[in-house]
Structure 1
């Protein structure tokens, strides 16, 4: 019968100097990890700036167009009242109704005011004519407050211009009214706006995160040396790592489209082929972002941190959560660099408006340019890792 010798364990008393050495070591590691230090300082600053200045749930100065078929003193006064309300910025004078619908479909304007040809004549006859305001209601939050302010603009115009002999027209009922047509989402259902936007958010999060760890994973596992020893060009490595994730992205798109159609009952006005075409371009853009971040990062932890750093402005400045037109100019400039901003317009335009390729092109080419620029950056930094 054998006995196992036991080694007595020595219990050391707590040492303040040893503890302080561990603390100093951690501070040194944090100081050397510049990405982590940037996250510690940068994330609070970005969140304060975004939530404090950029996020606005009461958007004003929304781009609007006007179709003026009756250029009278009454119509000019109402247009001036719209401007003075601060909710509407008249950015376009449109020639006809077809041009107005095209501007709404492409997202060039949020509202179109139509002044009919017989407006002033009917007004002077006491027939209570109507002005028509058509709104792009795909995002109910962006338009509801402005539309609610329209009826209050009528009475100041009446008090200003309908005086003297015309005072008889200023009775209990308003001399004219404003008829509102909410296009693309007349019932103001929030899911019609949120669910299509979720497609872009989910693709951004998963595609960037998965490819953001691709090269750093190779480096930490020790397989990067074998990859560098092979006669493979950087562009071949990068595109080769991207392609498998494209199929994953298409699976996610299919799941979201199925849920949008049969669970949330989002209307499918446009073509499914256009959705998949736009999704392919957007998936490529996000995978390129992930590969670029992976080339810049020195570890998987840094890759994850850079992914979060990229994802935060996307979800807040792309028009997914808050109206894009309500953000200040500097925030819109940042948002116009992000591919998610354009993809939100693409998918909502296809599903809710039935946009064709001519209407989609203004949002397609920025994503393509973004992808090409990031691909060049990824190849450049990958070449540096070869040295």
Structure 2
């Protein structure tokens, strides 16, 4: 209808490449962009297309949204964050201010807001209109590459799901099956968090068990980015690891029991059956396939390429983070400039050479 067309046109204009209508003050947009790029060590050598990818799950009949969707987004997908980040980074005025800050993003670089469906391994691109019309062939090639990557990921995951027949159709069907109690494995199997330049891990196969954060400490003046990483992403990955750990070793008390018996209560949690307390943690089906555990309970190994002295200063400054390390809720290790794990944190700001 005409009304629908107007709404769609306004939406496109609001998110357009040169739009000033982002709902965020100009000064704050520049600060957000600078902090995000610095945190990712993405300040030079920009590709023509940079994908900002949120994640979410398309599973149905699932009351455990924070276990499959983005826990940091309150059990929603990361789509809105990806959209905002791309809109800010594509803003020409923001880029002009960033250039004055020493971050020169080429004019032909386009940030694409995307969503990775972790159940089907499909990637959606939301702002295709930001790609110039004369580059349409490049967009087609990009989509083909994403499709091939999705197929490869589904094929790899199908081995854990005992999938028969057409793998692509079978895995996608799981996401729409109301009776499916294991639409995906989420983060089952997570075991490490590696904070280092991407080149250190580029040719290694971690079997989908490691969180990766690209970071170059030599570009981090005052180690403010390292402090951000150790007080935010490192803590979050520890929470995830400990949730899977507790739900595996004692699902009765720290997990939420049998998913097939869950009743959603007041929209805030689940009961196992018709009475009792609200259950916490992950359902048994998120860590067990009916015959074997799909998560190995262990403490998270955090490997950081940065000077030990800098990490000690941050640990001393933040007691809550230091407590995680001193009490071995996670294991902190240092990587040297040759890319080798060289030291292990032993508590009380002491390190042991390996």
TM-score (norm. length: structure 2):
0.22
Structure of higher CA gyration radius: 1
If asked which structure has higher relative contact order (CA below 8 Å, sep 6+), I would say 1
Structure number having the greater strand percentage = 2
TM-score by length of 1: 0.21
